[in-house]
Structures are given as structure tokens and as C-alpha cells.
Amino acid sequence: MDFQARLEALTHQLRPWSPLWSRSILQGWPESGAVYPEDWLDYCRSLDEAGERRLDQGALTGAPPPALGALLGALQELTALPWQEGLHTLSVAETQGLSAKKTHELERVLALLAPRARFIRQAVDIGGGMGHLARLCARTFGWTFHSIDRDAALQDKGRRWLTRTQPPGEDTLYFIQASVEDGVQPQLDSLFSGRDRASIGLHTCGPLALTQLRKSQGAGFVLNIGCCYDKLELPRDYPVSRFGSGHPLPFTPHALALTTRGRHHKTEVEFARMKRVYAWRFAFHLLSRRHFPERGFVRAGDAPRALYNSPFAAYARDRLERLGLNPGMTDAELNAFEVSARAETRDLLLCHLLRDRFARALEVVLLLDRAILLEEAGFQVELLQLFDPRLSPRNLALIASRSGPTDIERRAPPVGGFRDEAPHDAAFKTRHRYP
């Protein structure tokens, strides 16, 4: 894929519509709704429940405005990415205690690694948790594997899992309690350097993905799957490539939050639940704006699910009490207010459905910028869809590799990691045989 051409084409499509995707609809309402073309809103108002759900899936029914149809068609084409094929099926014993999501992710990752990382002898996993990926890679590929995580409790669980059996064999799995950070980290940096080294980060949160990419400039293979883009810091974390710096989009914190919402596979029940949550939140916003204008935007916060299944008055009463507000209204008056505001809350919903159509494109822009950064560092790069988005919505994988190991690296024996540490460093790591 020509990442530069794809990024340039996407930014060309997205930039004119930045007033729609770069700001919060609710916080800026009603001015935020005024930037949506009137013919787009008229079309959306004509949709029935099925049409709304189709729009939420990125599809248009009937006769949409030509500009809207052209834009969504272009964004769908430019965000279409190849899929990683294949599955490394795990046994019942290997997946004992794992969720369906985790099992699916591990089977897909192992299938991806098998043909691409044959020259790898050692690997490091950032945010490795209990070490499930490390354990399976050590056994499947014979790698020496370092699983890094700052959560000691998770690592303790992983150790207990591993020590249920103690078969003979070489020590190949190491738990390292640490945080991977920018800057020099003598105890960690050598793990990321070498053509026979793989650097892996699954669902690296926010800027941690970029930290991994920077740490891994000397690695032979890099696999990164990012998430939580709303935790990125602007302009530090976007754009990061030289080419991207010449083709920037006006990202804002609201736009970063939008990138995490690119999920088009809601069931009917999930879509109906989303509509109810939005209806109550939007009505509460209109209520607070009318009765407490001096408070500006009032954050309702997340409510227990049962409240969204209750009448609006129960939801509003709970939120008002939590915020220390009293509009002096009875439950009947609160419910009547919600009914009176339904036309406006539906417009809010329709604006959100339209704005969400930009989510995947903005996410792909961030990842194209990272892919180009890796290319600029000399890697051969792929950007693939890896996980079923119904199980794991953040499913885009960056895969980067250099040429295979040199003759010297082929002859060199695998390094066990931290073998030359001073005695006082011994507590920093724990090694295990894999079961």
C-alpha cells in the first residue's frame, strides 16, 4: 500500500468537514448542529428506525444527498484495509480461563506471527499482563520472551498459572515489572535492539503505542495495535512522521475521542440501548441548560444501566441529586419535558450518527501517520485488519519488519536477557519455564 498517497487522499476528504468532526456536538449545541448541511439533516429526519440503524452501520438508504453519498463512499474506500488471513487454533488447555475475546486475539496474533517472524529469536511484549501471549509464543516458536507490565498483581497471577506444572526445559519466559517510557532505560532498551528481536504491543494505550515504536527502531520486527487514542496529547503525538507533518488535520481532543467510536457492528439490541442512553443524556442536557444556564455544560456522567431503562424522571432525578441541582420539578413535569424535547433530541442523535461516520477515517489517519513514521525509519510496513471488530473493535495492526538477521546474528547464540545483570537487579525479573 502507498501509505503516503492514502494519507493524502484521506486528509483531502476530511479537511473540509473538520467543523463537523473536530468539536463536541452536545457541548456546543445548538451552534454545533448548525454546521451540518440542512439537506443532510432533512434526509436523516426522513429515516425510520431501520434507516437510522443502517446509517449507524455506514450505509445510506433511499435517496441521500449527493454530497453525503459521495463523501461516505470515498471514506469507505479509503479506509478499506486488507485482512490478515488464517487462525492458529489453540487447544482447550491452552485457552483455559481466557475470555472469547482474548482467545480470538491470541489465535489471530499467532497466525500473523508465524510466517513473518521466522528469523526472530527473542521477543518483548509491552503490557504483557499475565503473560499469555509470551507463554504461547515461547512454546510455539521457541522464542525467549520478556513480558513487561507495571501491574505486579497481574504478573503474580501469571506466575501462579505457569507454575502449576514444571516440565523440564530451558528457561525461556521472563516477567519484568516495569513501565516502558520514553528516554533511556538501561534495563529495558537492549530488549528492543537486534534484528532477531520482536517488539509486540497489543492494545497499547494512548501514547504508549508511540513509545513502543520509538523504542523499537533497532528491532527486526514490530507489531503494534493501538487503542485509547483519546489519551494522546496534541500536538506532541500527532503528526509523528515527516510526511504527516506536511499533511496535518486539525485534530482536537474531541476528534481524538471520536476515533475510538468507529464500531459499525451493533446488534439491534445494542443500537436500541444506545438510542435510549443518548435520548436521556440529550434531554438532561437541554433540561440543565434551560434551568441552570449559569453552569454552562453540565456533565451528567455515566449512570447505572437500570436508570436508562427507567422513565426519564428517575434518570434525571438521580443525576440532579448527584450534581446538587434542583429545578423544582415533579416527576410528571420531568417526564413531560422529555416528551416536549424529543424533536430536538432526535436532531442531536442524527448529528451524532452523521459525525460517527468520520470515526474510522480519523483512526486510519493516525495509523497511516505511524506507518509512514516506520517507513521513514527503514522498515517494511503493513497495515492490516486483524481482529473481528464485533469482538475487538480496535482491530488495526501495524506490522513492521527489517531484512532477516545478518550472518553474525545467525551464528550468535540466543541471549537469555539480563544474564549479565548485577546481583541487585535480580528482583527486577522473574523467569519461568513455559508449560
Segment 244-289, tens digit of pLDDT: 999 999 999 999 999 998 766 788 999 999 999 999 999 999 999 9
Residue 42's φ and ψ, nearest 5 degrees, are -60, -40
pLDDT at residue number 229:
97
**276 and 164, same domain (yes or no):** no
Q: Give which of 66, 108, 116 is closest to 87, Cα–Cα.
A: 108
Enclosing domain of residue 252: 92-259+359-405
Confidence category of residue 204, pLDDT binned at 50, 70, 90: very high
DSSP assigned state of 325: -
Number of domains in the chain: 2
Helices (H), 197-263: 208-215, 242-245, 253-258
**162 and 290, same domain (yes or no):** no
pLDDT at residue number 164:
67
For the chain, the average pLDDT equals 90
**291 and 371, same domain (yes or no):** no
Which residues, in sequence order, are CB contacts of 199 under 8 Å at separation 6+?
A: 123, 124, 126, 192, 212, 215, 216, 219, 221, 222, 223, 224
Q: Would residue 75 count as lying in a domain?
A: no
- Write down which residue in 340, 357, 374 finishes a domain: 357
**For 377-408, what is each residue's pLDDT tens digit?**
999 999 999 999 888 889 999 999 996 444 33
pLDDT at residue number 327:
95
Q: Would residue 71 count as lying in a domain?
A: no
pLDDT at 426 over 90: no
**241 and 217, same domain (yes or no):** yes
Over residues 216-227, the mean pLDDT reads: 96
**For 40-54, what is each residue's pLDDT tens digit?**
999 999 999 999 999
C-alpha grid cell for residue 396? 488495526
pLDDT at residue number 415:
33
**248 and 106, same domain (yes or no):** yes
pLDDT at 330 over 90: yes
Q: Would residue 6 count as lying in a domain?
A: no
pLDDT at residue number 170:
52
Measured CA to CA, the distance from residue 432 to residue 305 in angstroms comes to 43
Q: Would residue 424 count as lying in a domain?
A: no
The helix/strand count (H/E) of the chain reads as: 20, 8
**378 and 341, same domain (yes or no):** no
**227 and 376, same domain (yes or no):** yes
C-alpha to C-alpha distances, 417 to 194, 314, 337, nearest whole angstrom: 12, 58, 65
Residue 383 burial (10 A CB sphere; 0-12, 13-18, 19+): buried
Contact 234, 256 (CB under 8 A): yes
Over residues 7-26, the mean pLDDT reads: 98
Helices (H), 24-99: 25-28, 38-45, 49-56, 66-78
Contact 7, 372 (CB under 8 A): yes
**252 and 269, same domain (yes or no):** no
C-alpha to C-alpha distances, 207 to 92, 210, 212, 367, nearest whole angstrom: 35, 5, 9, 12
Q: Give which of 100, 367, 128, 130 is closest to 226, Cα–Cα.
A: 367
**279 and 198, same domain (yes or no):** no
**323 and 370, same domain (yes or no):** no
**336 and 387, same domain (yes or no):** no
Measured CA to CA, the distance from residue 185 to residue 177 in angstroms comes to 13
Over residues 66-76, the mean pLDDT reads: 97
pLDDT at residue number 373:
98
Q: Give which of 189, 177, 180 is closest to 126, Cα–Cα.
A: 180
**213 and 124, same domain (yes or no):** yes
Q: Would residue 62 count as lying in a domain?
A: no
Measured CA to CA, the distance from residue 174 to residue 148 in angstroms comes to 8
CATH of the domain at 127: 3.40.50.150
C-alpha to C-alpha distances, 124 to 51, 146, 188, nearest whole angstrom: 47, 5, 10
**For 137-182, what is each residue's pLDDT tens digit?**
998 999 999 999 999 999 988 888 777 644 544 558 899 999 999 9
Q: Would residue 79 count as lying in a domain?
A: no
Measured CA to CA, the distance from residue 424 to residue 427 in angstroms comes to 7
Q: Would residue 241 count as lying in a domain?
A: yes
Residue 185 burial (10 A CB sphere; 0-12, 13-18, 19+): middle
Torsion, Cα of 56, 60, 62, 65 (10° steps): 110
